[in-house]
Chains A and B, each alone.
Chain A
Amino acid sequence: MPETEPSKPSIFDIVTQNYVWRSIFRHGYADTPRNRVLQVSANVWLHLHPSKMRRHGIRYRHTWCAGGLTFLLYLCTVVTGVVLMFYYRPTGEYAYWDVKYLDFDVPFGMIMRNMHRWSAHGMVIFIWLHMFRVFMTGSYKPPREFNWVVGVNLLTLTLLLSFTGYLLPWDQLAIWAVTVGTNMARATPLLGNEGPFGPQLGMTPRYDARALLTAGTVVGSPTLLRFYVLHCIFIPLIASILMILHFWRIRKDGGISGPL
């Protein structure tokens, strides 16, 4: 083997090959192909990835990272949302004042609420971008048809998550936006009291699709509780299960799509 010139030390070398670093990390990380594979396959967080992948799949311009960032924003809402839950009581009596309390008295309360709100909006934007790029690269074509269907369900659930969360601050913005939204359910064919054939089937304002959603005839305290449970437990649970399915299918369908 020909003698290689000793090359200039890289930043990596300078940072890792000194007394202090070595005192903390006793042995180095040898950048061998075997170790590269193990870094992924032996790590609980990374093992969802394949250990090797097709070259174009790692380019920003192929995926825009939009799916991954949607997931990251989802995680942000979960973490900050759990913090908010420690202070929030879902009743008409307390909800508004609990949020005020979060905003003004709880240390870091305002920023937790802001992060929760803005990452939820970000998630809606990024899920659209993701769907847009998946369409543009034709990635829904065989064998990925079903994963697209799972994705559409995730899109619906994401919008429902945002919508149910919108009510929880229990301010004017919240109840009227939700009033507008749930009013449409009144007009559901067959199942709404103002929908085609609804009254004929015995639907009344107290007993129809909208009443099921709002737990009564108006958006009130019972609606708040209902939306709270949907927002904090029911929809996240289903969405998480579908995300697991989505990620698993990406692997089973042969990884990120690419030119054949």
Chain B
Amino acid sequence: MAENINPATIQDQEEVKVTAGRARANIPLADLPDKVHTWPYLVRAEFISGCVLLLVLMVWSITVDAPMEEPANPTKTPNPSKAPWYFLGLQEMLVYFDPWIAGVLLPSLIIVGLMVIPYVDINPKGNGYYTFHERKFAITTFLVGFLVLWVGMITIGVFFRGPGWNLFMPWDYWDPHKVVPLANIDLPYIVGIRSEMGAMLFGAVLVIGWLAGIPGLFWQWKKDSPAMRELGLLRYGIVSNLFMVMAGVVVKMALRLMFNIKYILVIPNILNI
């Protein structure tokens, strides 16, 4: 028989207890060494979480069957035709924007916007731990984007959209003949502009003002503050533009849903915003 070794006597004393045991042993966290052995501590955590996940997956797969409808039939369009749930946020955008903006421009901006985060967020604080008050702006912006624009829009798409992509409550009957008055009007028309050229100018001023004017004014106002100096014009330009695009999506949705405003800027065949 191999030597009879009692694990407790050989274990590094410092390492004896990691979290739960620390309280039991009454050792303050600060007095413990910073490093622990991966085996068994991390491997154990991974093993347990993996087992739980696989168990849930097995039970789920035994009890819920993957969907399978009638064979594909290109002549029979279902109403509504929904994209997979994780793309319903994008499909929802189609209500408010041109297909090329909703389907191409905004997704590209989301991907690019996510990728530039590490390069434009120069706040050195909050690196490697949870904190809100050390990075209020970053976290608030991310939460709005993630929860409102991503999770929220998907929720609308999954639960509140029915035939004709009309709004329904989840408990409503999906009436395929529901008639919704098309009362949407362009913003320039509402404020009394009747000529096409005038409407275009008015819209362009608003959109450019939103994307460049407001950030520009803010820059003029704050550019000498230490935070802005450190950020620099290039980084500020990227952040403020992505921010205004994101906020603009929310504003546009609100205008449509609350005031039936169709577009703000209309350039036929090229761009409607």
A interface, CB within 8 angstroms of B = 4, 7, 10, 12-13, 17, 22, 27-28, 30-33, 36-37, 39-40, 46, 49-55, 57-60, 65, 68-69, 72-73, 76, 92, 96, 99-100, 103, 110-111, 113-119, 122, 124, 132, 135-142, 144-146, 148-149, 152, 155-156, 159, 162-163, 166, 169-177, 179-181, 183-189, 192, 194-197, 218-220, 257-260
Q: Please name all residues of chain A whose beta carbon is closer than 8 Å to the beta carbon of B190 when the two chains form the complex.
A: none
Once bound together, how far apart are the Cα atoms of A203 and B168, in whole Å? 38
Q: Which of B35, B69, B98 contacts A52 (CB 8 A)?
A: B35
Residue pair B42, A57 in contact (C-beta under 8 Å): yes
Q: Please name all residues of chain A whose beta carbon is closer than 8 Å to the beta carbon of B10 when the two chains form the complex.
A: 30-33
Q: Is B192 part of the binding interface, using a Cβ–Cβ cutoff of 8 Å?
A: no
Residue pair B78, A172 in contact (C-beta under 8 Å): yes
Residue pair A174, B72 in contact (C-beta under 8 Å): yes
Residue pair B103, A185 in contact (C-beta under 8 Å): yes
Q: Which of B23-75 contact A (CB under 8 A)?
A: 32-43, 45-46, 49-50, 53-54, 57-58, 60-62, 64-74
Residue pair B72, A138 in contact (C-beta under 8 Å): no
Q: Please name all residues of chain B whose beta carbon is closer than 8 Å to the beta carbon of A144 when the two chains form the complex.
A: 118
* Smallest CB separation, A233 vs chain B (Å): 21
Once bound together, how far apart are the Cα atoms of A144 and B188, in whole Å? 47
Q: Please name all residues of chain A whose beta carbon is closer than 8 Å to the beta carbon of B126 when the two chains form the complex.
A: 137-138, 141
Residue pair B12, A33 in contact (C-beta under 8 Å): yes
Residue pair B7, A118 in contact (C-beta under 8 Å): no
Interface window among B82-90, B170-178, B229-237, B256-264? B82-90
User: Taking A31-B11, A51-B37 as contacts, is the C-beta distance between A195 and B53 under 8 angstroms?
Assistant: no
Q: Which of A33, A53, A148, A163 contacts B117 (CB 8 A)?
A: A148
User: Taking A40-B39, A172-B69 as contacts, is the C-beta distance between A184 and B61 under 8 angstroms?
Assistant: no
Q: Please name all residues of chain B whose beta carbon is closer than 8 Å to the beta carbon of A180 when the two chains form the complex.
A: 81-83, 91
Most buried by B among A39, A114, A218, A259: A114
